[in-house]
Structures are given as C-alpha cells and as structure tokens.
Amino acid sequence: MLTASPKETAAAQNDEKGDAGGNATVAREAAENPLASLPVTVEDFIPLAKARLPKPTFDYITSGSEDQVTLRDNVEAFRRMRVLPPLLHGVSEVDLSTTVLGEKIALPVMLAPVAALRMFHPQGARASARAAARAGTICIPSTSAHNSLEEIAEAADGPKWFQLYAPRDRDVALKLVRRAENAGYKALVVTVDLGERKDDDLRNRFFVPQDFLLKHLRDCGFTHLTERNTYEELVAFNLQAWDPSLSVEFFQWLRKQTKLPIILKGVLTKQAAQQAVQLGLDGIVVSNHGGRRLDGMPASIDVLRDVVDEAGDRLEVYFDSGIRRGGDVLKALALGARAVLIGRPQAWALAAGGETGVKRVLDILRDELTNAMLTSGCKTVADIDDSLIM
Ligand SMILES: Cc1cc2nc3c(=O)[nH]c(=O)nc-3n(C[C@H](O)[C@H](O)[C@H](O)COP(=O)(O)O)c2cc1C
C-alpha cells in the first residue's frame, strides 16, 4: 500500500531525477491539484484519499473484517494468477463494450454499492452516478447511501441498479422497491451477506453522523431509529433494521412484488448459485463483500469458476472483491464473469477527487484492460476466455 502524499511523491521524483524543469512542473501540479498528474493506478488513489479523510473514515473504507485474511487474499489471489497470451494473434484494436441484463455498457466495470459515500465527498453517490454515466457504465447505489435514491437517479441519465438490503419490515421493503421502480432503476441487487465486524472501526470508535444514518429507511417511515450512533450502536441498529435470517421465502415474496430483474449479491458457493436459479433470479454477484464480512471466507476469484460452471448458462454472473487492475478484470472475465464491480477503488477515488476522481479510476481500469486485451489477442470481451489462464 502506498503511503506518501502526492506532494511527497512528486517531490521525491523531482529530487531523484534532479530535473528542475519537467519534474518541478509535475510536483507543482500535484500539490495544486492531486488529480493533475497522479494517479496512474487504482492504488495511487489510496494516499490521496488518506490525505483528505479523517483516519476513522479512511480506515472504514480501507480495512476488512477481523484479521483481514480475506481482504488480503482477494487482492493476492489475483496477483498469483498467471495469464499466458497467444502470439501472432493479429488483433490491433479492441472493443470493451458488453451488455448486462440487455443494457449496453462501454466497459465491463460497474460501480459497486458503497454505503456512506457522503462521508467521503460532499457530492456522495451523486458524483459516482455522474462519473458512471460519463464512463458509459452502471452505478449501483446502496440502501445505505446518504443521498436519497431519487436524488441519485436525477443526478445523471445513465442506467442504474438499486442495491437493497432486506428490511425486517416488509412494508418498508416494499416502499423502497416502489421508490426504486418509480425513480427509474433498472434492477434490484439484493445483498445477502450481512454481519460486519471490523477491528479498526472498533478501535477508531468510528461512527456515522446522525443526519446520515440510513436515510432511505427514515424516508420510508422506519421508526425504530436510535438517537445514538457509535459503532456498536450502529451494528446493533443494523441488526435491528435488516433481516439477518434471510431465507428463500424473502426472494419468493420479492419476486411477486416487482417485475424488475433481481440480482443476488454475496454468492460464493455452487449451492447458492443453484438456489438463485431455482428462485428464478436474473443474476448473481460472486462476492465476499470485499473481505468486510466473515473473515476466512475464500477470495471471490478463487470460487468464481465453480460458480460459473454451476449456473453461468442460466443467469448472468458478475464479480467483485479485489479488482485493482484492468488485468484483474481480464482474469475475472476469463473465468466467466460478465462484468465486475469496484467498491474501494470507487470510494478512494471519490474521496480524492469527487466525480473527476471516480471517472479517472474508471478510465485507468479501461486503459489497463484495453492493454491487457490487446496483448492477449482479445478483440471483444466475448473473446476473453479461460484458455488465457495458466
Ligand atoms: C466503504 C464500503 C461500504 C460498502 N457498503 C456496501 C453496501 O452498503 N451494500 C453492499 O451491498 N455492499 C457494500 N460494500 C461492498 C461492495 O459493494 C463490494 O462488494 C466490495 O467493496 C468489493 O470489494 P473491493 O472493495 O475490493 O472492490 C461496501 C464496501 C465498502 C468498501
């Protein structure tokens, strides 16, 4: 992980090269506008976000559950994978576009649902929505966003899906679904992996300001809202608000309430993929929530192939957890994902530079994926298959 501030990084480059001309300009630009010359990789956003956020907020984004084994594994599993591209493939240009649930997107990278975005940047989810629209992709605002789902929908014209946590109260759930339908969201992404326990958040006494707390539920008349908001109280409140004992019955109920496509987020096993098929769902996200749930779960990329083999011909399979490079996108697509979602990269970039930052992170992934596809002889994303993976 990078730790130097942009100013320090630029100054170090300057000293090393002893070039008072070009490098001095780079250093000055970086100090004035962190996004002017940096970053060039997704992880370059980390020190920029760190410099701009209070420590508890930065740690809330960046850390994982307990010993963070799953968090590290998500990233390292990609680095362990090897790609063997063919030679003499004759490909000189590539097309990154694809479709998800019939919707054309310009690149196979979408913005994952991320809670609390307004704590990272005043524009919050509105900035993410605008960046996604400019990049030609989909953003998936969270139920725990601090902007209302209507104001996020109005912020940009691009297609959006709405992420739903299942409230215990079915009336509240139904109100949220109707609001998402009315605001023009094109699918529901139901997240089923609950139970966050992050040591850093406990140590930092991380809390969400009362004004921000679960705005959507309050809008829907959820009346049990606590006045207090420490980390422990937030966890307790979440358990009170959301149904942790989700069963197939919830999805049978939801399927009857809406015609919107339903995607299950948090799948890691063949069995769960099979259940999604049996429930008539439209897609699944292979995800361990970026290592923020039960520590010790496998890296999402390590289970992707099995899940795709089980259900990939019957519903669309998306992927998240650990994407930091365009090459990671290539690997996930090679193992059968239709598109990937990014969580932390979006949050770091939003903190670093709002809409411009998020657009930049999508551009970086697009450029890296373009290079990876060119090198691998994949003219279209449909050409990316597991023959590339050693
Ligand atoms: C700060 C933060 C908040 C998150 N909030 C939500 C949320 O409200 N709903 C949800 O389904 N997933 C949430 N996630 C998980 C992401 O949607 C995604 O699964 C995960 O971040 C992917 O891993 P990555 O961070 O390595 O890209 C959150 C992730 C982060 C980093």
Tell which atom from ligand 1 comes closest to the C-alpha of 290.
Answer: 23
Does one domain contain both 135 and 278?
yes
Q: Give residue 226's pLDDT band: very low, low, confident or very high (50, 70, 90).
A: low
Tens of pLDDT, residues 108-165: 999 999 999 999 999 999 999 999 999 999 999 998 888 889 999 999 999 999 999 8
Split into its structural domains, the chain has a count of: 2
Residue whose Cα lies nearest atom 15 of ligand 1: it is 289
Residue 71 lies in a domain: no
Residue 75 lies in a domain: no
For the cut 50, the answer to whether the pLDDT of residue 66 exceeds it is: yes
Cα(343) to centroid(ligand 1), Å: 5
Residue whose Cα lies nearest atom 2 of ligand 1: it is 114
Does one domain contain both 101 and 168?
yes
Residue 93 lies in a domain: yes
Q: Give residue 247's pLDDT band: very low, low, confident or very high (50, 70, 90).
A: confident
For the cut 90, the answer to whether the pLDDT of residue 196 exceeds it is: no
Q: What is the 3-state secondary structure (H, E, C) of the chain?
A: CCCCCHHHHHHHHHHHHCCCCHHHHHHHHHHHCCCCCCCCCHHHHHHHHHHHCCHHHHHHHHCCCCCCHHHHHHHHHHHHCCECCCCCCCCCCCECCEEECCEEECCCEEECCCCCHHHCCCCHHHHHHHHHHHHCCCECCCCCCCCCHHHHHHHCCCCECEEECCECCHHHHHHHHHHHHHCCCCCEEEECCCCCCCHHHHHCCCCCCHHHCCHHHHHCCCCCCCCCCCHHHHHHHHHHHECCCCCHHHHHHHHHHCCCCEEEEEECCHHHHHHHHHCCCCEEEECCHHHCCCCCCCCHHHHHHHHHHHHCCCCEEEEECCCCCHHHHHHHHHCCCCEEEECHHHHHHHHHHHHHHHHHHHHHHHHHHHHHHHHHCCCEHHHCCHHHEC
Does one domain contain both 123 and 199?
yes
Residue whose Cα lies nearest atom 14 of ligand 1: it is 114
Q: What is the CATH number of the domain that holds 211?
A: 3.20.20.70
Tens of pLDDT, residues 263-311: 999 999 999 999 999 999 999 999 999 999 999 999 999 999 999 999 9
Does one domain contain both 102 and 188?
yes
Residue 163 lies in a domain: yes
Who lines ligand 1 at CB under 6 A? 60-61, 74, 112-115, 142, 144, 163, 191, 265, 287, 289-290, 292, 320-323, 342-344, 347
For the cut 60, the answer to whether the pLDDT of residue 65 exceeds it is: yes
Residue 174 lies in a domain: yes
Averaged pLDDT, 28-57:
84
Cα(161) to centroid(ligand 1), Å: 15
Tell which atom from ligand 1 comes closest to the C-alpha of 345.
Answer: 27
Tell which atom from ligand 1 comes closest to the C-alpha of 61.
Answer: 1
Q: What is the mean pLDDT of the chain?
A: 89
Residue span of the structural domain in which 12 resides: 1-38
Residue 33 lies in a domain: yes
Cα(164) to centroid(ligand 1), Å: 13
Is the pTM value of this prediction over 0.95?
A: no
**Which has the higher per-residue pLDDT, 80 or 228?**
80
Does one domain contain both 226 and 298?
yes
Does one domain contain both 132 and 222?
yes
Does one domain contain both 31 and 84?
no
Tell which atom from ligand 1 comes closest to the C-alpha of 189.
Answer: 11
Cα(113) to centroid(ligand 1), Å: 6
Q: Give residue 167's pLDDT band: very low, low, confident or very high (50, 70, 90).
A: confident
For the cut 80, the answer to whether the pLDDT of residue 222 exceeds it is: no
Does one domain contain both 32 and 93?
no
Residue 65 lies in a domain: no
Cα(98) to centroid(ligand 1), Å: 23
Does one domain contain both 163 and 223?
yes
Confidence at residue 16, expressed as pLDDT on a 0 to 100 scale: 36
Cα(289) to centroid(ligand 1), Å: 6
Confidence at residue 29, expressed as pLDDT on a 0 to 100 scale: 58
Averaged pLDDT, 2-27:
42
Does one domain contain both 89 and 140?
yes
**Which has the higher per-residue pLDDT, 222 or 173?**
173
Confidence at residue 163, expressed as pLDDT on a 0 to 100 scale: 97
Check 121, 146, 216, 289 and give the catalytic one.
289
Tell which atom from ligand 1 comes closest to the C-alpha of 288.
Answer: 19
Active site residue 289: yes
Least confident span in 33-47, 96-110, 150-164, 348-362: 33-47
Does one domain contain both 130 and 267?
yes
Confidence at residue 172, expressed as pLDDT on a 0 to 100 scale: 85
Does one domain contain both 174 and 100?
yes
Residue 63 lies in a domain: no
Least confident span in 107-111, 215-219, 345-349, 352-356: 215-219
For the cut 70, the answer to whether the pLDDT of residue 228 exceeds it is: no
Residue whose Cα lies nearest atom 16 of ligand 1: it is 343
